[in-house]
Amino acid sequence: MKMTYRALLGASVAACLSGAALAETTITVATVNNGDMVRMQGLMDDFYAKHPDIKVEWVTLEENILRQNVTTDIATGGGQYDVITIGTYEVPIWAKQNWLESLNDLPADYDIDDLLPAIRGGLTVDGKLYASPFYGESSFLNYRKDLAEKAGITIPDAPTWDDIKAAAAAMTDKDAGIYGICLRGKAGWGENMAFLTTMANSYGARWFDENWQPQFDQPEWKAVMTDYVELLTKYGPPGASNNGYNENLTLSLQGKCAMRMDATVSAGALTDPAQSEFADKVGFALAPDAGLGKRANWLWAWSLAVPASSDAKEAAKTFINWATNKDYIALVASKEGWRNAPPGTRTSLYANPEYAALPFAKMTIDSINAADPTNPATKPVPYVGVQFVAIPEFAGLATSVGEVFSAALAGQKTVDEALAEAQTLAVDEMTAAGYIK
Amino acid sequence: MARAVTPRRMILTTIAAWGVALVIAFPVIWMILTSFKTEASAVASPPELIGASWTVENYVEVWSRSDYPRFFWNSVVISVGSTLLGLAIAIPAAWSMAFVPGKKTKDLLMWMLSTKMMPAVGVLIPMYLLFQRLGLFDTKIGLVLALMLMNLPIIVWMLYTYFKEIPGEILEAARMDGAALWNEIVYVLTPMALPGIASTLLLNIILAWNEAFWTITLTTTKAAPLSAFIASFSAPQGLFYAKLSAASTMAIAPILILGWFSQKQLVRGLTFGAVK
């Protein structure tokens, strides 16, 4: 009997010890709702098979709510999130605040040198990588080849703004519901201002001079806004001032946009016959320039980072290594085809002959390589960022300016009024923030 | 003397009432209709109704992508729990303010109400830190406490207004018959104020159910209610209106049904004492 008790006791202790050995670490991943992130959640079996000791819990939130919750958590040292999804705009700002853990110590198989240099540059501060890109994007032109052919025009692979204006005029047929060009008009720093900032870069305009003095009163901005309003008023869809990424993508999938300038990441949907009956008629070209040496394309990546407040940093890095590794891209390709592989992060993806054969692959990588976040405009600027200015004040300021420009597009203000108002807004904000002494 | 209601006046009043009701309900009706459209149809310009493409695919996708029952259960526990706890505290508080008021009772009531005038974000950091230090973050009990405290001024004010309508002499008579304080509140006051208490209960369940700031800020995975469920269907590339509408419809459906079945009680309670 005594032996039985001892045996039971021994078994219990062994069970407890083995339980402790198998104790799992739970990490909370805060993410945004987009197709690639949802796809990753569906591929978690692969992660659990490789890392049975790590359990992943997901928090999916709207982008702005995610930003607010994560900043509150990091600022108070809460540690509620172990992995966060973060945009290229926040990375340099948050890294300078010491809110993010450096990822320079990821294992060798992560192959940091395989990251696309432009994308990596936007996520690196003082030589340290602070976020690992999950997918990257630039912007380019997509157009309907059949409509260009019908109009008797050829859209060059590297067009100028004059080419775009002529093509929009030639392909517009409003009676048939075909609009020459679709551009973002909805107000927001990530909506119309993302596009307008890149357009400004190509026109020789800039947000601020070297002394942080706003530049909306300069002739380059007037040229940008005049052409933008004219293009969309003459050749754009009705209600263009309400159209953002999603609305214009929908119009393009329906074949109603002869041309559209927007994120390269939408190429997969545009060339997918299941989503668009015009999939085999889509052509791609670089974003236009005005002959000044800068094209109107942006650079963005949704990346994964570890907040400094996380109490499970090692497990978080293990997860990031899995989710942003070359092996993960191969996993997506094996399950859902190369078309659905997360784009714009790794050189090796574009060296892969199967991926390179996709109609949008070359234009995507060329567009990404054409963007330079450290030197975005033709004139010198004191900031980093192509379609944004990487300072904390930018999101609020650009949203206010975006509302003014959206009103100009809607015909509620003249271009001159909108630019004067934008200049006042920017001067006030930059003075209050201490940039202008 | 009451004015006679002519048939013409009756028809005009009915049309006006239906018109106002339609305007008020239109956003909800449009949201429900949008939830059955394809994404392309949902953002079509001009808006489509007759020629729209209809589908239930949005509901299928929303259901398959999220653990709806968990979000739903969290919403039920948080809204009902915070309301019941609030009533348990507010009934004695409102009794004392209504029947044995002190010199500062009016000031106290105003002060309580003034806490509702501050934007919630003003106390975000203290609340966040408190929840972290007390281990209440992402717990249902934490949210029950937070929402109870948030709605307590409204509950006290509503009950105070209802209790004031009850003649103090009835309570005095009960006391003379030997009723203890507890019995006076439970067996005399509560049954008489039941319509008011019921409407307070329903209104606060609705307020707690719809609360989105604290419920999203103070939760991550375990205690997140339906407000967080809706927020998860907003995408960085823009709003996918059809799926967002399906998620929103699923989130408001339970409270809409509750409101529909309890509307008589709700209206009766809200108009309690309105006409003397």
Which residue ranges make up each domain of chain A? 24-130+299-356, 139-298+383-432
Give per-residue pLDDT as tens, A86-130: 999 999 999 999 999 999 999 999 999 999 998 998 899 999 999
**Mean pLDDT computed over every residue of chain A:** 90
- Would residue B268 count as lying in a domain? no
- Would residue B261 count as lying in a domain? no
Name the residue facing A246 among B137, B220, B239 (closest C-beta): B239
Per-residue confidence (pLDDT) for residue B3, from 0 to 100 = 65
Per-residue confidence (pLDDT) for residue B275, from 0 to 100 = 46
Per-residue confidence (pLDDT) for residue B38, from 0 to 100 = 86
Q: Give me the domain span that covers residue B90.
A: 68-232
State how far residue A291 is from chain B, nearest Cα, in angstroms: 30
- Would residue B263 count as lying in a domain? no
* A24-130+299-356 and A139-298+383-432: identical CATH topology: yes
Name the residue facing A247 among B43, B220, B235 (closest C-beta): B43
Per-residue confidence (pLDDT) for residue A20, from 0 to 100 = 43
Q: Count how many pairs of residues, chain A against chain B, have C-beta atoms within 8 Å.
A: 79
CATH code for the structural domain at A139-298+383-432: 3.40.190.10
Q: Which residues pair with A143 in a beta bridge?
A: A259, A283
CB contact under 8 A, A32 and B235: yes
Greater confidence, B238 or A280? A280
CB contact under 8 A, A57 and B221: yes
Name the residue facing B43 among A69, A76, A246 (closest C-beta): A246
Q: Which of A39, A44, A76 has the highest number of chain B CBs within 10 A, making it the mutation to test binding with B?
A: A76
Give per-residue pLDDT as tens, A380-403: 999 989 999 999 899 889 999 999
Q: Which residues pair with A179 in a beta bridge?
A: A257
Structural domain count of chain B: 1
What is the separation of C-alpha A360 from the centre of its chain, rounded to a whole number of angstroms? 17
Indicate whether A318 pLDDT > 50: yes
Average confidence (pLDDT) over A239-268: 90
What's this model's pTM, rounded to 2 decimal places?
Answer: 0.79
Judge contact between B245 and B62, C-beta under 8 A: no
Average confidence (pLDDT) over A35-49: 89
Per-residue confidence (pLDDT) for residue B271, from 0 to 100 = 66
Greater confidence, A68 or B229? B229
Per-residue confidence (pLDDT) for residue A382, from 0 to 100 = 95
Judge contact between B55 and B240, C-beta under 8 A: no
- Would residue B53 count as lying in a domain? no
- d(CA A209, CA A282) in angstroms, rounded, equals 39
Query: Which residue's structure tokens are 């469920």?
Result: B229
Q: Which residues does chain B have within 8 Å of residue A275's beta carbon, measured at their own beta carbons?
A: none
CB contact under 8 A, B237 and A263: yes
Least confident of A203-207, A256-260, B216-220: B216-220
- Would residue B177 count as lying in a domain? yes
CB contact under 8 A, A28 and B235: no
Indicate whether A35 pLDDT > 90: no
The torsion region of residue B53 among left (phi > 0), alpha (psi -120 to 50) and beta comes to beta
Per-residue confidence (pLDDT) for residue B196, from 0 to 100 = 87
Confidence of residue A325 (pLDDT cuts 50, 70, 90): very high
Indicate whether A73 pLDDT > 90: no
- Domain A24-130+299-356, architecture per CATH: 3-Layer(aba) Sandwich (3.40)
Interface of A with B in 58-77 (CB under 8 A): 58-63, 65, 68-69, 72-73, 75-76
Q: Which residues does chain A have within 8 Å of residue B223's beta carbon, measured at their own beta carbons?
A: none
DSSP secondary structure code for residue B52 in this structure: P
Token pair, residue A132, equals 């690992």
Q: Which residues does chain B have within 8 Å of residue A254's beta carbon, measured at their own beta carbons?
A: 40
Indicate whether A5 pLDDT > 60: no
- Would residue B121 count as lying in a domain? yes
**The domain spanning residue B194 has which CATH number?**
1.10.3720.10
Q: Quick check: A254 contacting B, CB < 8 Å?
A: yes
Per-residue confidence (pLDDT) for residue B115, from 0 to 100 = 83
Confidence of residue A17 (pLDDT cuts 50, 70, 90): very low
Per-residue confidence (pLDDT) for residue B225, from 0 to 100 = 95
Average confidence (pLDDT) over A328-346: 92
- Would residue B24 count as lying in a domain? no
Q: Which residues of chain B have pLDDT under 70?
A: 1-3, 45, 235-239, 269-276
Indicate whether A13 pLDDT > 50: no
State how far residue B232 is from chain A, nearest Cα, in angstroms: 4
